[in-house]
Structure 1
Amino acid sequence: MDGLRVIPTWRHGQERLYVCLPDGASVAWYDREAARVSLLSDDREGDVLDALGPFLTRPVTVGPPPVPTPAELARLSLHPDDDLAPNRPGEALLVDLERAPGPAHRLRRPDPRRRALAAEQTVGAALDRLDGAGWHALHSVPLPGGDRVHHLVIGPGGLFALHVLPARRQRVHIADPVVTLGRHEPLPLMRRVRADADRASYALTAEVHPVLVLVAPAHVTVAAPPRSVRVLTDEELPDLSRPGGVLKPADVEALHAMARDRATWARL
């Protein structure tokens, strides 16, 4: 078949090559990561593979498009404005800083929002690296009333609601429910961490474990193991993905599809 064109596109951060007729109609597509060519018509297989020849660097599976899972169908039906998956780490802080950036120079007291944003970006980057291991991370998940879950992590080891505390070069002392950061006033932060996880559990109808993440602390002391809250530094975040066997891949995808829908959280 003459005139087939190969058009590269990016979909959810992954490259996909479409094979199209001169009028733009697609006859097949090639997913590099999955090494799969999906054909819309079997009688065009030879022409499609000839067109894709310069782009194929390894053996591929050829066949009809895979049947979408229920989770994929739910994602495809989700309006872009209601999809939380594109949220950047610290999305709410980024928006707030864009609307009200504050003074250009603050010599004595840096804007605390920027410290919080840097901490959430550090944690978000670490979590996004877990994606290839079957984990999904959602950032800055909004809750009714103006609160938010800094990061929600879903994977084979379960669900985790992460609250991030910037602690660069400061000592942290934890005596549940109080957290003391350097010379700052002690705050009952553990109650907030547990409450956010409880709200996430209610929204997703699944157990969500609370986690407090300390970013770049100088030293951490814990008077006694906090009730139900796991305490990690940003360097220990890879430990979060090591336990497995709690959720099957299909359950992970279904929970991720539910969690990325803004309407799930609006019902709280």
Structure 2
Amino acid sequence: MNGLRVIPAWRHGQECLYVCLTDGRNVAWYDREAARVNLLSEDRREDVLDVLGPFLTGPVTVGPPPVPTPAELARLTLHPDDDLAPNRPGEALLIALDRDPGPAHLLRPDPRRRALAAEEIVGAALDRLEEGGWHTLHSIPLPGGDRVHHLAIGPAGLFCVHALYARKQRVRVAHPMVAVGRREPRPLLRAVRAGADRASHALTAEVHAVLAVVGPAGLDAPAPPRGVRVLRGTDLAGLARLGGVLKPADVEALHAMARDRHTWLRV
């Protein structure tokens, strides 16, 4: 017996197998996702591999833990109150509805709930890009009470995405105006572009503006709007097929900067 035991646990959202001494101290951990055994003590290499033998599912890399990147260090030192990454799609609306649900007897649904539904649908679509090397932040607060609905950061660049609820309604786009159903047109594209400009200023990087229209019966845009992509919510996966602009390290660094609440205080 080598005095080691294997304990399963979760680390950064992934299951890991920790190798511990009898007093509870760690000497190594096996990251299945990365196929890597991280050794804290090279002296116990053989003992660690022996006790992990039944759990190893294929070839693995064995060595000391990798040195954290600057982005990882920034994340580790970020205070939880300043970290925007845990925000849910529509976080601000969820908080507002929790504080003031509004009357339950209204004939027309609360417009905040429709807006929330749009942000949740768009947010879920953007979160699915994560497997392709993307990160998405939701409901980023801006000075003055404004906010960015979603910020998607990936190989194709940065995209400031505004969600618009339009279920079973025809949407007409004539820059800068957007009309939903029978409602009066409003200059929504200016606001979407302004949000992207503020994000670009905060991150010192080019940020593309996107209007994501959720559930429209039709989408009429005779001429492509200037400076704003107009997409159906179901077409957001197409962002992943755009040409590569950012390297993985750039994506991680921009995500680390964007998730810090202080980044957005002066835009």
Q: Which residue of 2 aligns with 1:84?
A: 84
3-state SS of 2:230 partner: strand
3-state SS of 1:129 partner: helix
Specify the code of the residue in structure 2 equivalent to 1:83.
Answer: D
Note the residue ranges of structure 2 that are not aligned, 5 or more in a row: none
Structure 1 runs (4+) deviating above 6 angstroms are: none
* Cα displacement (A) at 1:8: 2.6
Q: Which residue of 1 aligns with 2:45?
A: 45
CA deviation profile, 1:42-95 (whole Å, cap 9, x unmatched):
121222223333332222111110011111111111111111111111111111
Q: Which residue of 1 aligns with 2:101?
A: 101
Distance 1:199 1:7, change over 3 A: same
Give the share of equivalent positions with the same residue, in percent.
75
Q: Which residue of 1 aligns with 2:18?
A: 18
Specify the code of the residue in structure 2 equivalent to 1:126.
Answer: A
Specify the code of the residue in structure 2 equivalent to 1:89.
Answer: P
CA deviation profile, 1:140-195 (whole Å, cap 9, x unmatched):
11111111111001111110000000111110000111100001121110000000
Q: Which residue of 2 aligns with 1:185?
A: 184
Specify the code of the residue in structure 1 equivalent to 2:231.
Answer: L
Distance 1:11 1:139, change over 3 A: farther
CA deviation profile, 1:221-257 (whole Å, cap 9, x unmatched):
0132101100111110111111132111111111111
Q: Which residue of 2 aligns with 1:166?
A: 165
Distance 1:4 1:98, change over 3 A: farther
CA distance in 2, matches of 1:55, 1:145: 53
Specify the code of the residue in structure 1 equivalent to 2:119.
Answer: E
Q: Which residue of 2 aligns with 1:224?
A: 223
Q: Which residue of 1 aligns with 2:199?
A: 200
Please say if 1:236 is aligned against 2:235. Answer: yes
CA distance in 2, matches of 1:8, 1:115: 42
CA distance in 1, matches of 2:80, 2:212: 30
CA distance in 1, matches of 2:109, 2:152: 30
Please say if 1:124 is aligned against 2:123. Answer: yes
Q: Which residue of 1 aligns with 2:56?
A: 56
- Counterparts of 1:30-41 in structure 2 under 5 Å? 30-41=30-41
Taking structure 1 as the reference length, the TM-score comes to 0.95
CA distance in 2, matches of 1:52, 1:116: 50
* Cα displacement (A) at 1:105: 4.5
My pick for the range that moved more, 212-221 or 246-255, is 246-255
Note the residue ranges of structure 1 that are not aligned, 5 or more in a row: none
